[in-house]
Structure 1
Amino acid sequence: MTARIALVTTVDLPVPDADETMLLPHLPEAELVCWDDPNVDWSTYDAVILRSTWNYHDNLDAFLQWAERVSRVSTLHNPLETIEWNTDKRYLADLAERGFPVVPTTFVDPGQPVPDDVVVPLDAHLVVKPSVGAGSNGAKLFHGDEAAARAHLEALHASGKTAMIQPYLAQIDEVGETALMYVGGQFSHAARKAAILSRDMSWETGIYADEKVVGTHASTAERELADAIVASLPPLAYTRVDLLPTPDGPVVLELELTEPSLFLGLSEGAPERAAAAFRALLS
């Protein structure tokens, strides 16, 4: 019997993601399946690979319950334990404790006051966003407007979300953000993303902010940091490490292990590399 792979997306995505459009011709065992389609029999798939489930943050509990059910009847990639850890950006605190440089982040739970040492930075250039989010949903940049920053934080709390407060690292406006893609634990390629929050955002799909992305070559420092992080993780189908530049070297903005775009169209051979890594999961 031919093995079957589910590449998991959502009913809310109006057209297939570009990654999946490029991946499917190289992975005939796979088909697109929606995590939020109640009629899917997940036990019929030998591997279930999360790809464009970009609405998970709207109902994280339901998404994690779905992932747990799938894990009982098939093999989920990336695995449930990784997804549970990675869908809340409080994992940044874990990375920092393990010695990796990350964007300085203060987490403020609903009902919790802003810590005293963050009150002054609130009057600086900073980002306030939810700890559970995807596609820049709920993320806002504030330029010295403490009242507006507090209002957004309170709005996040009112919706039951933990808020994150981060300094805005201005070098992103000049250099951009570097995303390093790994498939099957091996480095594949890198992409350079232009700043999103400092310009007018557009939402063509309705569920994530449009990005301006080009292929790039990661610097030695970026590769060393990303390689070290990947080496510290369990074996995974894919990893995307998002880094920001600082005068002291790159720092981690996000570690994408749940539903990242892999920007397969930006590097020759990337769709084939991803297909080979995903096919290897069957064995």
Structure 2
Amino acid sequence: MNYDIVILTDPRYTNPKELNSGIENVLLEDQLVLDALKKIGFSATRKSWDDPDFDWTTTQYAIFRSTWDCFNRFSEFSNWLNDVSGKTKLINSKKLINWNIDKHYMKDLAANGIAIPKTLFIEQGETITLSDAIKKAIEGYGFDNTSLVLKPCISGGARHTYKILPSEVVQYDELFQELVTNEAMMLQEFQHNIVTKGEISMMVFNGKFTNAVLKIAKLGDFRVQDDFGGSVQKYNPSKEEISFTENVVAAAPEMPIYARVDIFRDNDNNLALAELEIFEPELWFRLFPDAANVLANSIKSRLF
């Protein structure tokens, strides 16, 4: 059978034998997208990206929704991505995915006038101690040295993300050296407002804001992801926040069909970008079911 669109997930979410709230959320949201696509006439199905039996030439498009094991299997996923892009078209495009999957894209957005946190990029294989990297960040970028955040340039779900206090630099250096040997890393100024006020996730389809959530870290943590106990609630953004968000998406190399823009107030209380997600972002369809219809219609208007 041939399809217009295949919704991409990962093997954890295809016919799971045991359910928990996280898996149930994925199944619900993917089903909302599947139903929305079918409702406006698309032939659609759902497959794990690593399905060895599926012929990817039988679908016109593939849309990334819950391929969340890809960062733990990045080499395998990269090979698959290069192969599948020659067999079908990707939503969002492969050009955007390649750009967005590596957080060096933040440099490009900053060059296009988007406010980002103070960030020092440490490239893979670079010979530098954590102490010297922090000194470079303070002297070259004006970092506040009360606390810093270290994280990979290619990652998701807060993998290898660490908050480091000045008193902890020595104990983190061995881990830092190990990480930089294997991948590029980012050192950022810790953002105190994310802990106290939260981080806003803004959903955007075809360049226009549709809905938002506020993510708040659990007491004593700095990571807002619900994987780490963070809470999520619907959020009504200001005109300033909507304008900032739409400017972020417009600064990408091409307009994504769907995106999530994570924003916050930085340590100077100015709006800044935490992350632009246009690869496989969680879009909170379970809180905003009609947004799945917006996505389906955005695909139809742009691609069909």
TM-score by length of 2: 0.82
TM-aligned CA distance change 1:56 to 1:209, over 3 Å: farther
Q: Which residue is equivalent to 1:157?
A: 180
Asked if 1:278 corresponds to 2:299, the answer is: yes
Aligned equivalent of 1:19: 29
Residue 210 and residue 174 in structure 1: after superposition, are their counterparts in 2 closer, same or farther (change >3 A)? closer
Query: Secondary structure at 1:136's aligned position in 2?
Result: coil
Instruction: Say if 1:136 and 1:209, in contact at 8 Å, map to a contact too.
Output: no
Give the drift of 1:6: 0.7
Residues 152, 196 of structure 1: alpha-carbon distance in 2 compared, 3 angstrom cutoff: farther
Q: Distance in 2 between matches of 1:137 and 1:105?
A: 18
Unaligned runs of 5+ in 2: 17-22
1:228 maps to what in 2?
A: 247
Distance in 2 between residues matched to 1:137 and 1:61, nearest whole Å: 16
User: For the structure 1 residues 94 and 25, does the alpha-carbon distance in structure 2 shift closer, same or farther, using more than 3 Å as the test?
Assistant: same
Residue 91 of structure 1 corresponds to which residue in structure 2?
105
* Higher mean displacement: 64-73 or 193-202: 193-202
- Cα displacement (A) at 1:185: 2.7
1:258 aligned to which of 261, 268, 279: 279
The offset of 1:274, in angstroms, is 1.9
CA distance in 1, matches of 2:240, 2:45: 37
Unaligned runs of 5+ in 1: none
Asked if residue 147 in structure 1 is aligned to residue 157 in structure 2, the reply is no
Match of 2:4 in 1: 4
List aligned pairs for 1:183-222, cutoff 5 A: 183-195=205-217, 198-199=220-221, 209=228, 211-222=230-241
Could you tell me how far apart the structure 2 residues matched to 1:48 and 1:236 are? Answer: 14
Structure 1 residue 244 and structure 2 residue 258: aligned? Answer: no
Deviation at 1:182, TM superposition (A): 1.0
Structure-to-structure mapping, 1:19-168, within 5 angstroms: 19-28=29-38, 29-109=43-123, 110-113=125-128, 114-115=132-133, 116-118=135-137, 124-144=146-166, 145-158=168-181, 160-168=182-190
Shift of 1:40: 1.7
- 1:28-73 deviations in Å (ceiling 9; x for gaps): 2322211122222111111100111112222334323322222222
- Aligned partners of 1:44, 1:151: CA distance in 2, in Å? 48
Tell me what 2:196 maps to. 174
Identity fraction in percent? 27
1-structure distance, mates of 2:155, 2:56: 25
Task: Please point out which of 269, 276, 279 is paired with 2:290.
Answer: 269
Greater CA drift, 169-178 or 22-31: 22-31
Q: Is the CA contact (8 Å cut-off) linking 2:200 and 2:214 kept in structure 1?
A: yes
Q: Distance in 2 between matches of 1:91 and 1:203?
A: 21
Q: 1:140–1:197: 8 Å Cα contact kept in structure 2? A: no
Secondary structure at the counterpart of residue 244 of structure 1: strand
Quickly say closer, same or farther: Cα 1:275–1:227, change in 2 above 3 A.
same
Deviation at 1:88, TM superposition (A): 0.8
Moved more, 230-239 or 251-260: 230-239
Q: Which amino acid aligns with 1:153?
A: F
Q: Number of matched residues?
A: 279
Return closer, same or farther for 1:161/1:9 CA change in 2, 3 Å cut-off. same
Contact 1:67/1:76, CA 8 A, preserved across alignment: no
Moved over 3 A (4+): 12-16, 119-123, 200-204, 208-211, 278-282
Paired amino acid for 1:243: I
- For residues 189-227 of structure 1, give each alpha carbon's deviation from its aligned partner in whole angstroms, at most 9, with x where no partner exists: 1111113695287999xxx65642111012222211111
SS in 2 for 1:58: coil
